[in-house]
Amino acid sequence: MERLPRMSRRLFAGTSVLAAATFSCPALHAQSQPETRKITIAVGNKAAFYSLPLTISEQLGYFRAEGLTVAISNHETGVQAVQALIGKSADICLAGFEHIIHLQAAQQMVQSFVLLGRAPQIAFGVSTRSFPRYKPIAELKGKKIGVAALESASTLMACMVLAQGGLKAGDVNFLEVGDAENVLSVLRSGQVDAISHTDPLMTILEQKGEVRIISDARTLKGTTELYGGPMPAACLFAPLEFIRKNPNTCQALANAMVRGLKWLQTAGPGDIIKTVPENYLLGDRGLYIASFNKVRESISLDGILADEAAPTALKAIAGFDPSVKVGRIDLSKTYTNAFAQRAKERFKA
């Protein structure tokens, strides 16, 4: 097995629904008061579509409606957001499901209680500058691959794509390129030959003709083709101890998030534009909506993580990281659908 790259120079500073629950929840009802009203959520790159349901719930006042005061701590990457959670500067984390598996392998027990993304929302593209006539994946051997962050979903996806061409992680050089502001200059200067990243960045690069997309996990079809099944992505998770002690708070958070997910199902382009902060639009509203349409189907409908999704994630991660042993990961402790299920029933049309 090939280990996911851990060291690289940094270019820039900067089996049922309820069976997955690992605790016995007290009876929860509409009038239950949150045990903790002030909550800090650490998120990696809040402006990305990955985090859009959080932004919607925040902007539309759904957290306030649940009696919560939510502070959002924005970090450049999901890895940094996870570090904030483990360092106890945040109560909740919004990051990829893969982090939960990595944390359990390191004896850090956290659990997802609302799924935001049912696909990674990542695309892998090759630079048209480096490969004007690119064809096989094998041509990437010895090349530089830009990823949103090391030890992240973008690196995992890159490894999956490389494997399709018979390449290992060690056959390329992974470089962490950070957020959208840095990627254009990195790509145009030839510092990377391919990139694995999220939207709206990848749609921007694709429309400008700067990358050619060769693998697309922004769609359910592309995700299944690459990973062999549904791949859970962004989710809200917290330490098991926090969830046990604060079930009403977690329910309130789940209610707000599921309400936001439900709003996104029917929201039109104008609704999105009016709701997200102006600086998220990158100066081009049309391009932002085009990017949203690329990832729309990947957004969870109801916050519930499908039982077949967790095994898909574990198999993919264990295939590239020897520190993650399939037999030593208890998937039933990685997520619970209990809160999202209650929220779904509450907001049923």
Contacts of 193 by beta carbon, 8 Å cutoff, 6+ apart: 126, 127, 130, 131, 140, 143, 144, 145
Mean pLDDT, residues 326-346: 97
The confidence band for 31, taking pLDDT boundaries of 50, 70 and 90, is low
Query: Which strands make up the sheet holding 194-198, listed edge to edge?
Result: 173-176, 144-147, 194-198, 122-127, 211-216
- Yes or no: say if 58 and 94 are a contact pair by the CB < 8 Å rule: no
| pLDDT, position 162 | 97
User: Which helix (DSSP H) or strand (DSSP E) does residue 70 occupy?
Assistant: strand 69-75
How far apart are alpha carbons 99 and 298 in whole angstroms? 19
pTM: 0.88
| pLDDT, position 57 | 98
- DSSP readout, 195-210? EEEETTHHHHHHHTTS
Which of 7-11, 24-28, 262-266, 319-323: highest mean pLDDT? Answer: 262-266
| pLDDT, position 332 | 96
- Yes or no: say if 268 and 285 are a contact pair by the CB < 8 Å rule: no
| pLDDT, position 7 | 37
φ/ψ of residue 147, rounded to 5: -130, 155
